[in-house]
Amino acid sequence: MRRRTGVRIAFSSMLLVGTWASASLTSTAGAAPAPTPAPASAGMLTAMQDDFGLTEGQARERLASEKTAIRVDRAAQRAAGSTYAGSWYDAKTGKLTVATTSAAKSEALRETGATVRVVRHSEKELNAVKARIDDLSAPKGVSSWHVAPRSNKVVVNVVAAQQNDNDVQRFVDRARKAGPVQVATVDKAPSTFAAGTVGGDPYYTGNVRCSIGFSVHGGFVTAGHCGQTGAAVRGWDNSAIGNFRGSSFPDNDYAWVSVGNGWWTVPVVLGWGTVSDQLVRGSNEAPIGASICRSGSTTHWHCGNVLAKNETVNYSQGAVHQMTKTSVCAEGGDSGGSFISGDQAQGVTSGGWGNCSGGGETWYQPINEILNRYGLTLHTA
Q: Which residues are catalytic?
A: 225, 253, 335
Cβ proximity of 117 and 123 under 8 Å: no
**SS3 category, 141:** coil
What is the rounded CA–CA span in Å between residue 84 and residue 69? 16
Rounded to the nearest 5 percent, the helix, strand and coil shares of the chain are 25, 35, 40
What is the C-alpha separation between 368 and 375, in angstroms, rounded? 10
In whole angstroms, give the CA distance from residue 111 to residue 364. Answer: 32
266, 260 in Cβ contact below 8 A?
A: no
DSSP assignment string, 66-107: HHHHHHHHHHHHHHHGGGEEEEEEETTTTEEEEEES-GGGHH
Q: How far apart are CA 366 and CA 363, in angstroms?
A: 9
**Torsion over CA: 54, 56, 61, 62 (sign):** positive
Q: Which residues contact 5 (CB under 8 A, 6 or more apart)?
A: none
Q: Which residues contact 71 (CB under 8 A, 6 or more apart)?
A: none
Alpha carbon separation from 323 to 145, 281, 362, 363 (Å, rounded) = 10, 22, 10, 6
- Distance between CA 194 and CA 243 in Å, rounded? 18
Write phi, then psi, for 239 (nearest 5 degrees): -85, 155
Indicate if the alpha-carbon torsion angle 268, 205, 325, 130 is positive or negative: negative
The Cα–Cα gap between 348 and 334 comes to 9
Are 379 and 280 in contact by the 8 Å Cβ rule? The answer is yes
Q: Are 263 and 12 in contact (CB under 8 A)?
A: no
